[in-house]
């Protein structure tokens, strides 16, 4: 990328960021302090840049909102170079009421968190389902295929104006259409040829989905089996998509994309299939799934509808402590 004689490989944002880190810049003469936000999900390159500085370092974050470990992000809040930092806790939220705070605290209790989240917001209801007559609702999903599955269900129920966080084209609809054509043996209609290279046929795709228990693959198979006219359904989803959330009756998003956002009425879709409290799950995976649930339930300001997994976690908390209220 840095070869001046060969321009065939363009420099990327990650590329010049890495070059900047490797130059070992000293920012201490220019700045009296460095403030690093989202410290629980820091790119290791950024973390290295910050820790090398001799100026005051202030880091803000919530280790329970670490969602991107799978991308290589690290929790700089817990890094050795922050071990002697002065710590201050911000545990109060004006977003929601006591009921949502309690659900969040139940989830965090299984990570061993002793500092309680406190609510200063309006009264928030926690239910098993959202009321039918809401002018707008938001659905949070664990998987991209879960977003599509739910969107197809909603479209089938009637006219819906859907807003997709990040845009509808970021939800792998093209890939699902390709998989549908692949399942019908219409390989000439498959646009992304990688699918044809990776799998001998659709039967092998199904076998691998079953063997690996991959939630995205399994749900994609289920969608294809449920909709014989899937390409037409997907085209209808595109027609239902709106460019502004103000025009929408439904907002759709993954839980990862929902981080930092908030809505009045939030429902958790039932595709959070990985049980974070299963005895065989490793600690990192457990924490990642609990973090995602914690972020999800704290997006709601007025009504939160729980899915079966969170209800099950609440029940297990009750069995351990004898009551859901402490």
Average pLDDT over residues 190-197: 92
The closest of 320, 302, 300, 292 to 70, measured between CA atoms, is: 292
Average pLDDT over residues 178-186: 95
Burial class (CB in 10 A: 0-12, 13-18, 19+), 291: buried
Half-sphere exposure of 257 (CA within 13 A, CB side): 19
**Residue that the structure tokens 């029940």 belong to:** 315
More confident residue, 25 or 4: 25
Return d(Cα 142, Cα 98) in angstroms, integer: 25
Return d(Cα 258, Cα 295) in angstroms, integer: 8
Half-sphere exposure of 18 (CA within 13 A, CB side): 7
User: Nearest 5°: phi and psi at 260?
Assistant: 90, -5
Per residue in 27-82, pLDDT tens?
Answer: 998 999 999 999 999 999 999 999 999 999 999 999 999 998 888 899 999 899 89
More confident residue, 179 or 321: 179
Q: What is the pLDDT of residue 85?
A: 92
DSSP state of 94: S
- The residue extents of the domains of the chain are 13-82, 93-167+241-321, 173-231
| Helix axes of 308-321 and 283-297: crossing angle, nearest 10 degrees | 110
Average pLDDT over residues 155-176: 92
Topology of domain 93-167+241-321, per CATH?
Rossmann fold (3.40.50)
Return d(Cα 93, Cα 116) in angstroms, integer: 11
Q: What is the pLDDT of residue 158?
A: 83
Per residue in 293-317, pLDDT tens?
Answer: 999 999 999 999 999 999 999 999 9
Give the Å distances, CA to CA, from 313 to 108, 169, 285, 290, 294: 11, 34, 16, 10, 12
Per residue in 80-124, pLDDT tens?
Answer: 989 899 999 999 999 999 999 999 999 999 999 999 999 998 899
Return d(Cα 202, Cα 204) in angstroms, integer: 5
| Cα 97 versus chain centre, distance | 23
Q: What is the pLDDT of residue 323?
A: 65
The closest of 275, 317, 279 to 292, measured between CA atoms, is: 275
Calculate the average pLDDT of the chain. 93
Average pLDDT over residues 3-29: 89
Is residue 93 within 8 A of residue 285, CB to CB? The reply is no
On the question of pLDDT at 325 being above 80, the answer is: no
Using a pLDDT cut of 90, give the percent of the chain over it: 82
Q: Which residues of 224-310 form beta strands (DSSP E)?
A: 250-254, 263-268, 300-305
On the question of pLDDT at 326 being above 50, the answer is: no
Hey, what are 54's tokens?
Answer: 């001799």
Q: Which residues contact 10 (CB under 8 A, 6 or more apart)?
A: 1
Is residue 178 within 8 A of residue 190, CB to CB? The reply is yes
DSSP state of 84: T
Is residue 274 within 8 A of residue 290, CB to CB? The reply is no
Using a pLDDT cut of 70, give the percent of the chain over it: 99
CA torsion, ordered 129, 103, 121, 267, to nearest 10 deg: -30
| Beta bridge partners of residue 241, listed in sequence order | 162
Q: What is the pLDDT of residue 168?
A: 96
The closest of 82, 81, 80 to 60, measured between CA atoms, is: 82
Furthest CA-CA distance within the chain: 71
Query: What is the number of residues in the chain?
Result: 326
């Amino acid at each position: 990328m840095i070869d001046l004689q060969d321009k065939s490989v363009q420099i990327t944002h990650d590329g010049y960021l890495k070059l900047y880190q490797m130059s070992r810049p000293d920012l201490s003469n220019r700045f009296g302090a460095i403030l690093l936000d989202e410290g629980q999900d820091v790119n290791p390159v950024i973390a290295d840049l910050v820790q090398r500085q001799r100026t005051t370092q202030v880091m803000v974050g919530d280790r329970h909102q670490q969602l991107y470990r799978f991308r290589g992000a690290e929790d700089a809040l817990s890094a050795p170079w922050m071990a002697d930092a002065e710590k201050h806790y911000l545990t109060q939220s004006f977003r929601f009421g006591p009921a949502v705070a309690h659900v969040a605290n139940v989830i965090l209790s299984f990570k061993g968190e002793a500092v309680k989240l406190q609510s200063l917001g309006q009264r928030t209801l926690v239910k098993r389902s959202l009321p039918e007559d809401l002018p707008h609702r938001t659905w949070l999903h664990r998987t991209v295929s879960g977003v599509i599955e739910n969107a197809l269900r909603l479209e089938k129920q009637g006219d819906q104006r859907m807003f997709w966080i990040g845009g509808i084209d970021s939800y792998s609809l093209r890939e699902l259409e390709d998989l549908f054509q692949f399942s019908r043996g219409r390989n000439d209609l498959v646009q992304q040829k990688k699918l044809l290279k990776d799998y001998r046929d659709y039967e092998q795709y199904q076998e691998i989905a079953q063997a690996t228990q991959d939630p995205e693959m399994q749900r994609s198979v289920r969608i294809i089996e449920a909709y014989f006219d899937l390409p037409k359904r997907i085209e209808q989803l595109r027609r239902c998509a709106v460019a502004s959330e103000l025009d929408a009756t439904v907002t759709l998003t993954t839980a990862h994309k929902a981080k930092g956002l908030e809505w009045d009425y939030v429902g958790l879709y039932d595709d959070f299939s990985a049980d974070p409290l299963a005895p065989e799950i490793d600690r990192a995976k457990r924490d990642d799934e609990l973090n995602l649930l914690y972020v999800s339930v704290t997006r709601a300001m007025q009504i939160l509808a729980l899915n079966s997994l969170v209800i099950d976690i609440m029940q297990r908390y009750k069995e351990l402590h004898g009551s859901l209220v402490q």
